[in-house]
Amino acid sequence: MGGTTLEAILRRDRAIVASTLVVLTVLAWSYVLWLVADMDMGGMDMTGFRMIPAGIGLMKPATAPWNAIEFAFVFAMWTVMMIGMMTPSAAPMILLYARVGGQATNTGKALAATWWFASGYLLVWIAFAFAATFAQWALERESLLTPAMAGSGGVFGGIIMIAAGLYQWMPLKDACLRQCQAPWLFIQHHGGFRSDALGSLSLGARHSMYCVGCCWALMALLFVGGVMNVLWIAAITIFVLTEKVVPAGRAISRIAGLGFFAWGAWLLTDALL
The pLDDT of residue 207 is 94
Distance CA 169, CA 147 (A): 33
> Could you read off the pLDDT of 33-68 as tens digits, one per residue?
999 888 776 556 667 788 888 888 788 887 888 999
Q: Is the pLDDT of residue 10 over 60?
A: no
Give whole-number Cα distances, 35 to 62, 143, 221, in Å.
Answer: 18, 22, 19
> Could you read off the pLDDT of 95-117 as tens digits, one per residue?
888 877 665 555 556 667 788 98
- Are the C-beta atoms of residues 160 and 166 closer than 8 Å to each other? no
pTM, full prediction: 0.90
- Are the C-beta atoms of residues 82 and 128 closer than 8 Å to each other? yes
Counting the structural domains of the chain, the total is 1
The pLDDT of residue 1 is 42
Q: Is the pLDDT of residue 71 over 90?
A: yes
> Residue 272, CB half-sphere, CA atoms under 13 Å: how many?
11
Q: Measured between alpha carbons, how far apart are the two ends of the chain, in Å?
A: 75
Measured torsion, CA atoms of residues 110, 113, 116, 118, in degrees rounded to the nearest 10: 120
> Could you read off the pLDDT of 207-222 as tens digits, one per residue?
999 999 999 999 999 9
- In this structure, is the dihedral angle defined by the CA atoms of residues 91, 97, 99 and 101, taken in order, positive or negative? negative
The 3-class secondary structure across 101-167, one letter per residue, is: HHHHHCCCCCCCCHHHHHHHHHHHHHHHHHHHHHHHHHHHHCCCECCCCCECCHHHHHHHHHHHHHH
- Segments forming the whole domain that contains residue 121: 2-272
Under the banding of pLDDT at 50, 70 and 90, the label for residue 7 is: low
